[in-house]
Amino acid sequence: MSEAVTALKNARYDAGIATISEIGPLGMITIRGDLEAAFLRKVINKTVGLERPESGMCNSDGTSAVAWMSPDELLLICPHAQVAEVLSRLLAAFEDTHTLAVDVSGARAAFRIEGTHAREVLAKLAPVDLAPAKFTPGMFRRTRVGQVPAAFWLLEDGAFQVVCFRSVAQYMFDQLKVAAQPGSAVGHFSAP
């Protein structure tokens, strides 16, 4: 069986004020159900070792992540090779409940924005308050980036991960490159 490839074959841009790179392929599973249910917390914890995130947050350990998507939806991210196994464990655990888990790994593209100007590059495209005091590591936001829907979270200062639909991966990469072009630093967040 052939290996899955990402939409842009891990394209990378580092000629600008931040590094833009397509990462992946990642395993992604959409979970929908009662996020307040104790069993759901337990299943998430047992399956990937992470706490169920509070609203607007993403919990991650570098390998896997669980992000809060909506009051009844989570996004679970794991290594692509493990997605089938994680999914089957979730499905088994959810069996008698009204909880959905479905593989959406192929539906998405993921990017990293890295560097001291990462916040500024993203703030050119997303209507989100990305000031260092307002958007701290672990925060997650579903919003738009340019003209497409997307989600992102801050891994650590200077490193965002952006997720969008696979079909618009090229658009996302192109506009991130424009936003990161040389000479375009804003100096808003890094104002002394």
- The smaller minimum CB distance to another protein, of residues 21 and 170, is found at 170
Query: Which alpha helices (H) appear in 56-167, and where do they start and end?
Result: 83-94, 118-123
- The smaller minimum CB distance to another protein, of residues 48 and 123, is found at 123
- The smaller minimum CB distance to another protein, of residues 33 and 115, is found at 33
User: Is-contact 64 74, C-beta < 8 A?
Assistant: no
φ, ψ for residue 63, nearest 5 deg? -105, -50
CB-CB neighbours of 119 under 10 Å: 23
CB of 134 to another protein, least distance (A): 7
- The smaller minimum CB distance to another protein, of residues 29 and 61, is found at 29
The whole-angstrom separation of Cα 120 and Cα 32 is 33
User: Is-contact 95 73, C-beta < 8 A?
Assistant: no
CB of 182 to another protein, least distance (A): 5
Q: Which residues bind another protein (CB under 8 A)?
A: 1-7, 25, 30, 32-33, 72, 98, 100, 102-108, 120, 123-131, 134, 146-148, 165-171, 174-175, 178-179, 181-184, 186-188, 191-192
CB of 58 to another protein, least distance (A): 19
CB of 186 to another protein, least distance (A): 6
Listed residue (36, 10, 39, 12) closest to 25, CA to CA: 10
Rg of the chain over CA atoms, in angstroms? 17
- The smaller minimum CB distance to another protein, of residues 82 and 184, is found at 184
CB of 12 to another protein, least distance (A): 17
